[in-house]
Amino acid sequence: MAIEHLKRSKPETERAEDDAKVRATVEATLKDIETRGDAAVRDLSEKFDGYTPKAFRLTPSEIEAAMQKVTTREMEDIKFAQTQIRRFAEAQRATMTDTEVETMPGVILGHKNIPVQSVGCYVPGGKFPMVASAHMSVLTASVAGVPRIVASAPPVKGAPHPAIVAAMQLGGAHEILVLGGIQAVGAMAIGTESIDPVHMLVGPGNAFVAEAKRQLFGRVGIDLFAGPTETMVIADDTVDAEMCATDLLGQAEHGYNSPACLITNSRRLAEATLAEIDRLLEILPTAETASVSWRDYGDVILCDTYDEMLSVANDMAYEHVQVMTDRDDWFLDNMHSYGALFLGPRTNVANGDKVIGTNHTLPTKKAGRYTGGLWVGKFLKTHSYQKVTSDEAATLVGEYGSRLCMLEGFVGHAEQCNVRVRRYGGINVPYGEAAPYRGAAE
């Protein structure tokens, strides 16, 4: 395989050093929240956001006042996006059915899909107010039937962001908090004097939010490790440098550490894209952020073949993967590790981020190797159950269970089976021994 890097991002060693600093900061902050509760949350909010209201939970009148600041056209746009996301989430929910089957006479097995009982939805709003994240988490949890949905976003210019509040309220949030960063996810997961803890955290965020979710996992469930954002463009000569450069920088503007990668089999396209990125960074209003991301976290990888392009893409397992080639469906059929695919030049990552209907909370840092993104199924727990409805089934299964338990040395387990064999089958199994074989079971 002849794979050439025309541009390389920061080496993994430097990224690991950055991660270690974030890890230590988050650990100390979460410990402070657990120890001091509301006082710690208030101090952190004042330090990072300059925001210290009487209460971080909005009242119904405060929610209404914020929504009044959203223009009619903005509200129509929010509702349009939520309609698309709701339609897809409802279609996904319809694929998840409860089931019950009689696997043998008298033995009934089944499972039920039960909503998580409380969810904390984090909506980023530091550098950019991520209105769409409210749709993706709050609305999807609502479609799943979660009975308590807590949504939190940082203040913007010292106040709740009107459009974020509107999206949360329309999406079905039961409680809306004006809190950002580690203090938001920490308060929702750990709980404070004024905020009841939730069972699960969802939503994207910066490196500190993502690390906080990682450290809180176990105490609560999480959707996945989501953030900082990553974007990959897989392209050949069927598209031009302007398209590729625009799609790379469109995600690099998220933050100073947002990886962006071009994989191509065209040297001409690769070199032209590098030049076009330099040109666009001269005119892009968010170039201050995007240029740092591109400098430190940008890659351009030149491959000989489509198979090499596929192999590199699967190995990197990026969050957003834009495919613009003469064989987009081939990549759809053969890619196995990614967050979401955007197939063909007519669509793009921004569509998925904001409006088209698929969820934008997606796995990063190679998590796409073992999980997909946030979807309605993440809010549902599949719980199994069993029933035995006849003496014959209780006896037959019990006999096998008794012998298999004794095979492993679990006498107490075996006796759970044996007591049923004695009562429902009338077979005298000596205490602490395996059920005997009989003609029908041999």
Q: Are residues 316 and 260 in the same domain?
A: yes
Q: Is residue 360 part of a domain?
A: yes
Q: Is residue 7 part of a domain?
A: no
Q: Are residues 75 and 162 in the same domain?
A: yes
DSSP code of residue 390: S
* CA neighbours closer than 13 Å in the CB half-sphere of residue 395: 16
Q: Which residue has the higher pLDDT, 228 or 15?
A: 228
Annotated binding site for Zn(2+): 251, 254, 353, 413
Catalytic residues: 319-320
Annotated binding site: 122, 183, 206, 229, 251, 254, 320, 353, 408, 413
**pLDDT at site 192:** 98
Listed in sequence order, the residues at least 6 apart from 221 whose beta carbon sits closer than 8 Å to its beta carbon are 116, 199, 200, 201
Q: Are residues 403 and 276 in the same domain?
A: no
**pLDDT at site 441:** 44
How do residues 253-279 score in pLDDT, each as one tens digit?
Answer: 988 899 999 999 999 999 999 999 999
Examine the pLDDT at 289 and tell me if it is beyond 60.
Answer: yes
> Mean per-residue pLDDT for 339-346?
97
Mean pLDDT across the chain: 95
Listed in sequence order, the residues at least 6 apart from 416 whose beta carbon sits closer than 8 Å to its beta carbon are 401, 405
Domain C-terminal end among 208, 223, 238:
223
How do residues 382-406 score in pLDDT, each as one tens digit?
Answer: 999 999 999 999 999 999 999 999 9
Q: Is residue 264 part of a domain?
A: yes
Q: Is residue 380 part of a domain?
A: no
Percent of the chain with pLDDT over 90: 91
How do residues 118-159 score in pLDDT, each as one tens digit?
Answer: 999 999 987 789 999 999 999 999 999 999 999 999 999 999
* CATH code of residue 73: 3.40.50.1980
Q: Are residues 200 and 240 in the same domain?
A: no
Q: Are residues 361 and 417 in the same domain?
A: no
> Mean per-residue pLDDT for 223-246?
93
Among the residue ranges 6-20, 89-103, 401-415, the one predicted with the least confidence is 6-20
Q: Is residue 433 part of a domain?
A: yes
Annotated binding site for substrate: 229, 251, 254, 320, 353, 408, 413
Residue 439 confidence class, pLDDT cut points 50, 70, 90: low
Q: Are residues 43 and 131 in the same domain?
A: yes
Domain C-terminal end among 198, 223, 248:
223
Annotated binding site for NAD(+): 122, 183, 206
Q: Are residues 148 and 76 in the same domain?
A: yes
Domain C-terminal end among 346, 373, 400:
373
Total domains present in the chain: 3
**pLDDT at site 414:** 98
The model's pTM:
0.91
Q: Are residues 207 and 347 in the same domain?
A: no
Q: Is residue 1 part of a domain?
A: no
Q: Are residues 268 and 335 in the same domain?
A: yes
Q: Are 398 and 425 in contact (CB under 8 A)?
A: yes
What domain range includes position 55? Answer: 16-97+113-223
Q: Are residues 184 and 258 in the same domain?
A: no
How do residues 40-72 score in pLDDT, each as one tens digit?
Answer: 999 999 999 999 999 999 999 999 999 999 999
